[in-house]
Homo-oligomer: A and B are copies of this chain.
Amino acid sequence: MRVLIVEDDADLSRQLKSAFKDAGYAVDIANDGEEGHFLGDTEPYDAVILDLGLPLIDGVSVLQKWRADGKTFPVLILTARDQWSEKVAGFDAGADDYLTKPFHVEELMARLRALLRRAAGHTTDTIELGDLMVDNRAARAFVDGMAIKLTSHEFRLLSYMAAHKGRVISRTELVEHIYDQDFDRDSNTIEVFVGRLRKKIGTERIETVRGLGYRLLDPESENTD
């Protein structure tokens, strides 16, 4: 983890740098708003600690610039005591947290951990198979970046197959996973859905394994020959 500290009080920044290094972070220091802005813009930090009272450019402006440029790293701002209106301004500029000076270093560390933990909570909900992408969170599928319109059962089918891509999946298994309990399956609904799905995402993507079921092909891991 790499952290940027933008702070003009040299004593404080040195102290913080030392404490953070001990805790296992890589730390950069900027002594004024200009330098801070430049570093934040050009280096890939995991988090930033930003003093609001800075020479050259003030902290809120630096933060606004970063956010306007699409920087998303978590930012913890440091403010003087009893400046709660300033804190609110900082939040509205896109800060994720703040701390009032003076503070205990231990508390700053705890807050930083909380921010990093939170930022890491990203789990991708999408599955890609060549130029086919299945987005389970949005309940959509894309071919070549183009959204495909699928009905709810079509999507369920695709989603399940995508989660088990490359494997042969029996009709029974499909039925069990895309329908709830009571479904009277002496009908050919699965074949019908596979047909409709093929029409929408391309026939060749779903392979029929005669006597066993279907297989959704994953171009990444095909050793076809």
A interface residues (Cβ-Cβ under 8 A, vs B) = 67, 72, 74, 84, 87-88, 91-92, 94-97, 104, 106-107, 110-111, 113-114, 118, 121, 123-125, 137-140, 142, 145-147, 151-153, 155, 166-168, 209-212, 215, 222-225
B209, A139: Cβ atoms closer than 8 Å: yes
Contact of A124 (CB < 8 Å), options: B92, B124, B223? B92
Smallest CB separation, A8 vs chain B (Å): 24
In whole angstroms, what is the CA distance A124 to B93 when docked?
7
| Contact A96 B118, beta carbon cutoff 8 Å | yes
How far apart are the CA atoms of A187 and B51 in the complex, in Å? 51
User: Within the complex, which residue of B91, B152, B209 is in contact with A110, where a contact is CB–CB below 8 Å?
Assistant: B91
Q: Given the complex of chains A and B, what is the CA–CA distance between A107 and B72 in angstroms?
A: 22
Tell me if B91 and A111 are in contact (CB < 8 A): yes
Determine the distance from Cα of A225 to Cα of B145 in the docked complex, in whole angstroms: 10
CB of B168 within 8 A of CB of A139, answer: yes
Residue numbers in B under 8 Å from A92 (CB-CB): 110, 113, 124-125, 137
A147 touches which one: B111, B125, B137, B223 (CB < 8 A)? B223
Name A94's contact: one of B124, B146, B222 (CB within 8 Å): B124
Which residues of the partner chain B approach A152 to less than 8 Å between Cβ atoms? 209-212
The residues of B that contact A91 with a CB separation of less than 8 Å are 107, 110-111, 113-114
Contact indicator A146/B225 (Cβ below 8 Å)? yes
- Whether B72 pairs with A123 at a CB distance below 8 angstroms is yes
Q: Which residue of chain B has the shortest Cβ distance to A155 in the bound complex?
A: B212
Nearest CB in chain B: distance from A155 CB, A: 8
Complexed CA–CA distance, A222 and B142 (Å)? 11
Known: A67-B124, A87-B107, A97-B97. 7 other contacts (CB 8 A): A92-B124, A92-B137, A118-B118, A140-B168, A147-B224, A151-B210, A152-B210
Residues in B neighbouring A107, C-beta threshold 8 A: 84, 87-88, 91
CB distance from A169 to the nearest CB of B (A): 10
